[in-house]
Structures are given as structure tokens and as C-alpha cells.
Amino acid sequence: MSANLLKETGPREVFCGLTSIVWLHRRMPDAFFLVVGSRTCAHLIQSAAGVMIFAEPRFGTAILSERDLAGLADAHDELKRVVRDLLARRPEIRTLFLVGSCPSEVIKLDLARASEQLNEELQGRVRVVNYSGSGIETTFTQGEDGALSALVPMLPSGTERQLLLVGTLADAVEDRLITLFKRLGIDSIRSFPPRQSTDLPAVGPGTQVLLCQPFLSDTSRRLRDRGAEILNAPYPLGAEGSRRWMEAAAKAWGIDDARISATLDPLMERAALALEPHRQTLAGKRIFLLPESQLELPLARFLQRECGMELVEVGTPYLNRDLMRSELELLPDGTRVMEGQHVEQQLDRVREARPDLVVCGMGLANPLEAEGIPTKWSIELVFSPIHGIDQAGELAELFSRPLHRHQLLAAGRQP
Amino acid sequence: MDLTLWTYEGPPHVGAMRIAASMRGVHYVLHAPQGDTYADLLFTMIERRGQRPPVTYTTFQARDLGGDTAELVKRHVREAVERFQPDALLVGESCTAELIQDQPGALASGMGLGLPIVSLELPAYSKKENWGAAETLYQLVRGLLRQQPADPASHNPQAWKEQQRRPRVNLLGPSLLGFRCRDDVVEIRKLLDRHGIEVSVVMPLDASVRDVMRLPEADVNVCLYPEIAESTCNWLERTFGQPCTRTVPIGIGATSDFLTELHTLLGLEPPDANEGARQSRLPWYSESVDSTYLTGKRVFIFGDGTHVLAAARIASQELGFKVVGLGTYSREMARPVRAKAKELGLEALISDDYLAVEAAMAEVVPELVLGTQMERHSAKRLGIPCAVISTPMHVQDVPARYSPQMGWEGANVIFDTWVHPLMMGLEEHLIGMFRHDFEFVDGHQSHLGHLGGLQAAQPEPLTADLATTNDSELQANTTLSWTADGEAELKKIPFFVRGKVRRNTETFAREQGRQHIDSETLYDAKAHFSA
């Protein structure tokens, strides 16, 4: 690996792990995510999700009050009371995630103990699981890692040979990938998280894992501890990454090259057609990725290798060299990979470099646009179906659209 | 510990951010973990601001907690002052930092930075956003003006006469993420200019630290949004003797009262009481014959204190609606809202639980809802038209066009915004005439199609009228049924009043102890309710 790995610290401009509740709760419609935290946590999730359209959402916040902090009320008893009320109101809930926050971590509220006691009380009617999505420990997508790794101990044991796809995918994308794996000759495929929270896949020595997302450090470690093998591959973003990702499974299954080519080559040809118009817009353009979603490295690899973009700097909230090994190998020599953030210094570098496109969070997008720098919000990347060879064109379109729009508006400004 | 699924107000430090981001030359160092940076998007996405809010977050992490978080605070304060060179610095903490008690304000004050530093203590576990904004404005104004000589007894709000200048006032309260503040300021400036009154400082929106120092130079303060500015206005009155207007100029009557109040304080002859009728179209539009259909429209009002009080007055006195529900999430404004509700024969709903608000709405079955974006969604589910009158802000509440709520133009905007979701009088008449034509589709509503599935698909809820029936025993023992003849007669009634007629008839039947409702019962009930 020859990327130029750098580090910086300072003020950061990123979401905390609570934000991942926004997509996790949609993945598992029979689960409820109860944040134990403050009004800030509640406000964060509703603001990040722009949620106002629900009848009654499957996430909420047990807001700590001064009584809880002053010890006037026993916070554990209070939490149990809130959970009982909630479950009485929402009898369809099968799994309850108690999600730790910054305040609950700082006052050392023992959510593990609370979960244990609630599990005893509920006697299997609802399973209570806990993890932390706090901003003092987690960044954005790490919340999903926390939720999934908390579920790993609940997975039944099994030695059956199977392919386990780990990480939330859009349902349609998941269906498509499963179809393709079956076409390749892999028949036993499960997903984690499942679509029903109670439909947990078994795990054991026969399990081979493909990570669909690059932010699942704890989850993959725990799966490995349960005997699963984590297949090493780039992540399924872009045609090339997706192909290598599928090939990793196919090779582990001993599927011959001819069958792999017969199955995937036509898809690759189609993807090349779909990518071409976007490649024309993106090729030679310079992109700067600010750290947030943890998808930055695979995206940079895709944009550079398949869309011809030049990488000015690739930020990442943290760097797990093990999980990112295949991605780092594919980056051009000397690519600036910046782990961590000093948002002010980073913005100085953005202004100095004047890139053609910046990937950043929603707090920074309009201010950069106002300076004439086109942007792409990173949060859109975690909500859009972008995985797989068939989605490569759509993924490229997310980046070419802002540039296309700037061209249209610039043309409109001509006298 | 309370379960919250959605919240009308953010935490108090977001209120502080609203003040800092509204002003020029003010920077806010917020001791907070990284996730709290989400608050930037409220400004950059909802308000479409082209600048980041002037906030430096210390973004401490778990591993910092064992070490020296105080040093971390100082480093961020130093860097923020060097980089942004503010004229004044706000220093505070969010909910998590409040627990680790680093006292960032005291730390910053001890650094010898040579600029005014205002330390904010905003209790995150008991207070909310609007309180935080009000407290920040108050602490900032007090902190900056504390050194100025003050003699409240010597202030004469009519001194402009001797000094041979125009009277001047400060406008206090307009801020970012406040409902239509941007346009209200323009409208109030216009209004005052027409009366020869000069605006000295607008605070906090676009105010600089120098502007704050000029606050005591005004003759009178105008409190536009009590949620944000009341405590500051009170302090300015106590300290510098500047009186303050208390009427919020939203609606014709209130704008007129506001002008009278301000003119009286300034020693000016109050303006002609008919100014509103000349300057705004609301009075005539409301008198015009098409508006007859607005008479007695049942309206449910919920939002922040300032806007619901104004809405209740406009609805009941200027548009001839009947207010059937009134409430606020602003606990600080609970007292005046309760008083207003009592005046209208109602009990105010003081709550920040949107599901309780939705339930109250469903119970009174209004014909129009005036609420926040959340009530808009609730009303949509219930198939009731709605207009938005209050924060919390949504990107739709920052329209491109000029759209004030205050003053004469504000009244025009309000007339259009509230009346358009309803059916126009002439249309209502025509639909009644042509409803037997084969082209006519039942459930049709001409322009907005607000009626959701609920009204059409489900029987009308009976709860509202149950509550008004006194004889509970009767209720329990009576099961009502409609005869075929009764149902047929009911179908002849236009759909948009059918639900109301059904409920009234059932109430009447229950009172009369009748179990079957036929066409005769329907006519009896009609006679009974028109009597």
C-alpha cells in the first residue's frame, strides 16, 4: 500500500452513531430504538432524518431529567418504567435496542444491566439489546456497527456452509445480489441484519462473511470470534469493487472462472455503458472527500479508477487498516488519506485546492456552495441504493449530478 | 425520564446558537461532543444559509475524559479567537459537557484574551431552545452593557422632541430559525417609517457588538417575540429606564394596538384607527360576501406562544372563525395562553407531546388547523386542511417570496395562507348546486384536495360529542343505528358538512333517547340545532 496516510486532530464536523438509527429502524420494522439520552439526542435524530412525516416512529429518546441526574429518581427504575410504557403501547415490537448516548455514558448508566433485567422480566416476549451510539465513542455509521455487534451474541450457532452478507443494504439491492450469488452457484445466503429482527441467521465455522459496508469493525471481530471467516475484498461500490467482492465469495466456494465470467461479464459490460456518460462529466475533475460516512475510501477508489477523477484528499473519520486493506491497495500512489479531522484546517485546504467537487456533511454543503464549490452530501450515500455492479451508474450519477447542475445554471447566467 | 418521540424545541444551546448565528462578530465556543455539530445543518439546510454558524465545538471524545478536558477547551477557545477574531465570545456547554463540569466560561475568562467573554449556563436537562435563546440574548446584552452608566429614572422616552430628532426604537427578538423574522423586520421597519419612527438597532438579527452598545440610545424598545426578547426588554427597562411595547403586531387589531401603544409611549398622537382598513386588504376581504362561508369555521390552534395568541385573536375577531382548541408548547408562555383560552371558553393545551396535540385535534374535529409543521402532518392524516403559523422551522417556512406575518402586509399574507386551504364560498355554493350531476365526484375538493383517506373511508369519530353530552348513563346504554331512510337522507347532504351533520344528529338522538335515526330524526336535529 502506498497511499500517503496522514492524521490530524481538532474540531470535527461529523454526526455521532445515533444517526444510523435512521436507516436501521427501517431495515427492521419490528424493532424499536430507544436512545437513553438528552433532548439534544432527540433533536439530532429528527433533524438528521428530517423526520416529520411519521405517525409514530420506531425510535425515540428517554430524556434524562434533572431528577435522574440528581439521583432523586433511580435512573434504572425510570428507564424500566419508560420501557414498560413503550412496549405496552407498541405490542408489535419484538426487539428493543437500548442505545447509549454521550450523557448516559458519562453518568455511567449501566444499560447492559438494564437490558438483562428487562429480558428477565419480559421472558422472551421482547428481546432487549444494548449498544452505544454516543458521539464520544462513535462516528455516524459506527452506530450500525454497535447495533449489529450487540446482536452477534444472540445469533444461533450453526456449522452449515453459508454466505453471510453483513451490513444494511437497500432491500431491492439485497434481492438483486442474492439472485446473482445464486446464479454463480452459491445457494445458502443469509443477511445480517435480517429484515425481521427475530429472524437471526446462524453463525459458525461454516459461515463465510462478505461485509457490505466498510464500517463494521466490531461486528466482524465478533463474527470471527464465533468461527466465521471474513472474506477479504474491496467493498461492493462501483462495478469493479462489486465484482471483486462477489468474486471473493465465488472463489471461496470454488466456483470456476468460466462460470464467474459468464455470470458477471455481461453485467460489467452493461455497467460500463451506464458509467460512460457520467465518466465523461467526471473524468479529470478533482474531488475532495471530507470525513463522515466511512465510505470515503471505497468511494474514492471507485471515482478514481472507474470515473477518472483526481483525488485531492480522502478524509476518513478513522482508519481500520485491516478492513480497508483491499481498498488502500487500489488507491493511486501518494493519495492523501487523512484520518481524523481538524475541520477548519481541512476547509483551508479545500479553499486552497479549489476542487471541482467536495463530499461533505449537510452543515458544510451550502457554505461551500456559496463559495462556488460544488458539493455532494455524504448522508445521501448511506440512504441510496448504491451497492452492486448494477448500481454503478446510479452511484456515479450522484456525483455527476451536482456538476451537471452547476453547468446548467452557469449556462443560464450567460447574458 | 420522559419518552420523547419528537420534540418541538431543541436543547437550550441550540437557542444560544440562534443568537450567535443571527449576529455579526459574535463567536460561540461550545464544549460538546462531535455529534452535536448536527445543529449546523439547522442553519445551513433549513435556512439555506451560505455561512456556517459561528460555532467552534470542542468535540471531546471518551479518551479525552480521563485527561485534561479543560486544556482542550482552552485550546479551542484560543484557536477560535485567533481564526475568527470575534468582537465578543460566547462560551458554553451542551448537555454532555454540563455533566463533566469543566466550567468553560470561567476558563475562557481567565485566558486574558482581551475581548468581551459571556459565559452561558444553560441547564440542558430542564430547559429548551427558546429559553436558551432568551437567556443568551439577555446574558450577552447584560454582559456588554454592564459597564455603561445607567440612570433609569432620567430616561425620558419623549426626549426626541427636545433634541429635535425623529423618535427611535430598537426591535428586539427577531432571530434565525424564528418564524418569518426576516420579513417581519422589513415590514415593521416600513410600518414605523410611515409614522416617522426610526429603527435604531435590530437585535439579534444582523446586530453587531457595536449595535449592542447603542441599545440604550433608543427612546423605546419594541419586543417583537416575547419568547426570545422579553427578559432582555425587562432588563433594559429596569437598567436604562427604556419602556417597552408589549403588543405583538400580528393581525389588524394587534398592529393597531401596537401603534397606539408605541405612539403613547413616545408622546405621539395615536394614528387613525382605520389605518389597518386602508393599508391592509384583510378587513375588506373578510367583510366581502364570499367570506360569509368563513363564519363559525371551527379552528384548532397550536404552536409557540406568540403566534398562537395572535392567531386566536385574528381567527375569532378578524375572520369570524370559532376557535375550538388552543394550545402551545412554550411553557414560558403558558399563562397568557391559558388566559386567552379561558376568554374563548376553552381549556388551553400546554404540551410538548405531539401525539397529545393530535389526539386533541382529532377530538374536536376542526375544519381548519393552524399549527406547526407537525400539526400539518397530523391534520393531513385526519383529512383536515392546515396552515402553518409557528416554528419549529421547516425549509418550507423560509419561502423565497416576501411573506411577513407582522404589520399590514402580514395580515394580507395571513388571510391568504389561512383561507386558501379552505374551500372558497362561491365554490362551496356551486358544488352544492351541481353535486347531482354525473360529472361530480363525491369527495371532490376543488383546489388542494386536502381531504385524506380517513374522512372518506372511516366512520366519523363520535368522541367529540360524547364529551359534550352530560348524561353519561344514557351514553353507555344507548347504541345508535341509522335506518336506510336516514342514511339516504344523510347522503343528500354535501359531503363537506355531512360529518358534522352526522355527529350533531347522533348527539341529538342520544339526548332524546332515540335509538334509530331515520330521516325524521335528521330533520328534528336540524331544527334543534338551528333553533
Q: How confident is the model at residue B447 (pLDDT cuts 50, 70, 90)?
A: very low
Q: What pLDDT is stored for residue B329 in this prediction?
A: 98
Looking at residue A57, what is its pLDDT? 86
Q: How far is C-alpha B85 from the chain's CA centre?
A: 35
Question: Which residue in this structure is represented by grid cell 368522541?
Answer: B463
Confidence label for B464 from pLDDT (cuts 50, 70 and 90): very low
Judging contacts by C-beta atoms under 8 Å, the chain B residues touching residue A18 are 35
Question: Which pLDDT score is estimated for A1?
Answer: 53
E strand intervals along B356-442 = 368-371, 386-388
* pLDDT tens digit sequence for B354-367: 999 999 999 999 99
What grid cell was written down for B492? 343528500
Which residue bears the cell 376553552? B346
- Of the candidates B133, B118, B90, the one whose C-alpha atom is nearest the C-alpha of residue B391 is B133
- Asked if A5 is an interface residue toward chain B (Cβ–Cβ < 8 A), one would say no
Ranges of H-type helices in B386-424: 407-419
Instruction: Give residue-wise pLDDT tens across range B167-222.
Output: 999 999 999 999 999 999 999 999 999 999 999 999 999 999 999 999 999 999 99
Asked if B44 and A366 come within 8 Å (Cβ–Cβ), the reply is yes
Which of B6, B124, B373 comes nearest A38 by C-beta?
B124
DSSP 3-state helix, strand, coil percentages of chain A (rounded to 5)?
A: 50, 20, 35
Q: Rounded to the nearest 10 degrees, how much is the dihedral formed by the CA atoms of A85, A86, A88, A89?
A: 120
Asked if pLDDT for residue B445 goes beyond 60, the answer is: no
Q: At residue B458, does pLDDT exceed 50?
A: no
- Burial pattern B91-126, b for ≥16 Cβ within 10 A else e, equals bbbbbbbbbeebbbbebbbeeebeebbbbbebebbe
Q: How far apart are CA B376 and CA B138, in angstroms?
A: 33
pLDDT exceeds 60 at position B450: no
CB B433 within 8 A of CB B471: no
The pLDDT, as a whole number, for residue B492 is: 80
Task: Please report the residues numbered 111 through 150 in chain B whose beta carbons come closer than 8 angstroms to any beta carbon of chain A.
Answer: 123-126, 128
Interface check for A372 against chain B (CB to CB < 8 A): the answer is no
How many residues are recorded in chain B?
A: 531
Confidence check: pLDDT of B263 > 90: yes
For residue A179, pLDDT over 60 is answered with yes
CB atoms within 10 A of CB B334: 15
Report, as an integer, the average pLDDT of A303-317.
Answer: 98
Backbone angles phi, psi at B365, to 5 degrees: 40, 65
Backbone angles phi, psi at A371, to 5 degrees: -90, 5
ipTM here: 0.95
* Exposure letters A256-268 (e unless 16+ CB within 10 A, then b): eeeebeebbeebe
| A5 or B500, greater pLDDT | A5
> CA A272, CA A242: separation in Å to the nearest integer?
13
The answer to whether the CB atoms of A103 and B128 lie below 8 A apart is no
Q: Are strands A336-340 and B117-119 parallel, antiparallel or unpaired?
A: unpaired
Is residue A240 classed as helix, strand or coil in its secondary structure? helix
| Beta carbons within 10 angstroms of residue B36's beta carbon | 31
- Model confidence at A359, pLDDT cuts 50, 70, 90, reads very high
φ/ψ of A281, rounded to 5, equals -75, -35
Q: Which of A106, A135, A344 sits opposite B34 (nearest CB)?
A: A135
| pLDDT-based confidence at residue A300 (cuts at 50, 70, 90) | very high
Place of cell 442474492: A178
A76-86 confidence digits (pLDDT tens): 899 999 999 99
d(CA A364, CA B40): 8
Residue of A nearest to B34 (CA): A135
| Burial of B70: CB neighbours in 10 Å, binned 0-12, 13-18, 19+ | middle
Has residue B73 got a pLDDT over 90? yes
Min Cα–Cα distance to chain B from A76, Å: 10
User: B42, B43, B84, B95: best mutation site toward chain A, by most A Cβ within 10 Å?
Assistant: B95
CB contact under 8 A, B51 and A369: no
CA distance A317 to A296: 9
Tell me the chain A residues in contact with residue B57 when contact means C-beta distances shorter than 8 Å.
11-13
Which chain A residues contact residue B381 at CB under 8 A? 55
Q: Is 50 exceeded by the pLDDT of residue B476?
A: no
Measured CA to CA, the distance from residue B39 to residue B18 in angstroms comes to: 10
pLDDT surpassing 70 at residue A105: yes
Average pLDDT taken over every residue of chain B? 90
The count of other CB atoms within 10 Å of the CB of residue B295 is: 11
Cβ neighbours, 10 Å, residue B499: 17
pLDDT of residue B467: 36
pLDDT of A209-248, one tens digit each?
A: 999 999 999 999 999 999 999 999 999 999 999 999 999 9
User: What's the pLDDT score for residue B452?
Assistant: 37
* Of residues B1, B94, B381, nearest to A63 (C-beta): B1
Burial of residue B85 (number of CB atoms within 10 Å: 0-12, 13-18, 19+): exposed
Q: Do A51 and B6 make contact, defined as CB atoms within 8 angstroms?
A: yes
Determine the pLDDT at residue B413: 98
pLDDT higher than threshold 50 for residue B147: yes
Residues ≥6 apart with Cβ < 8 Å to A51: A22, A45, A57, B6
Q: What is the pLDDT of residues A374-391, one digit of tens each?
A: 999 988 898 889 999 999
pLDDT tens, residue by residue, A312-336:
999 999 999 999 999 999 999 999 9
User: What's the mean pLDDT in B285-291?
Assistant: 94
Residues 58-77 in A contacting B (C-alpha not used; CB under 8 Å): 59-66, 68-69, 73, 75
Give chain A positions within 8 Å (CB) of B74.
Answer: none
Instruction: Look at residue A129 in the predicted model and tell me its pLDDT.
Output: 97
Flag if A68 and B58 touch (Cβ within 8 Å): no
A362 contacts chain B (CB < 8 A) = yes
* Phi/psi of residue A184, nearest 5 degrees: -75, -20
How many helices (H) and strands (E) would you count in chain B? 26, 16
Binned at pLDDT 50, 70 and 90, residue A250 comes out as very high
Name which of B6, B41, B99 is nearest A363 (Cβ-Cβ). B41
Whether B13 sits inside 8 A of A40 (CB atoms) is yes
Q: Do A362 and B44 touch (CB under 8 A)?
A: yes
pLDDT for B150: 87
Residues of chain A with Cβ-Cβ distance to B39 below 8 Å are 43, 47, 363
What's the pLDDT tens digit per position in B407-442?
Answer: 999 999 999 999 998 876 556 656 656 655 555 555
Give the pLDDT of residue A337. 98
**Is any Cβ of chain B less than 8 angstroms from the Cβ of A78?**
yes
Half-sphere exposure of B369 (CA within 13 A, CB side): 31
CA dist list (Å): B82 to B78, B89, B91, B113, B503: 6, 12, 15, 10, 68
User: What's the confidence (pLDDT) of residue B441?
Assistant: 55
Q: Does B50 contact A at CB distance below 8 Å?
A: yes
Phi, psi for residue A112 in degrees, rounded to 5? -65, -45
SS (H, E, C) A68-137: HHCCCCCHHHHHHHHHHHHHHHCCCCCEEEEEECHHHHHCCCCHHHHHHHHHHHHCCCCEEEEEECCCCC
- Residue B465: predicted pLDDT: 37
- A 10 A CB-CB count for B372 gives 29
B455 has a pLDDT exceeding 50: no
Please report, as a single letter, which amino acid is at residue B129. E
Return the pLDDT at B448: 41
Report the residue of chain A nearest B94, measured CA to CA.
A40
Catalytically active residues of B, by annotation: 290
Terminal CA-CA length for chain B: 51
Distance from CA of B64 to the nearest CA of A (A): 9
Asked if pLDDT for residue B454 goes beyond 80, the answer is no
CB pairs under 8 A between A and B: 191
- Residue A206 CA neighbour count, 13 Å, CB half: 12
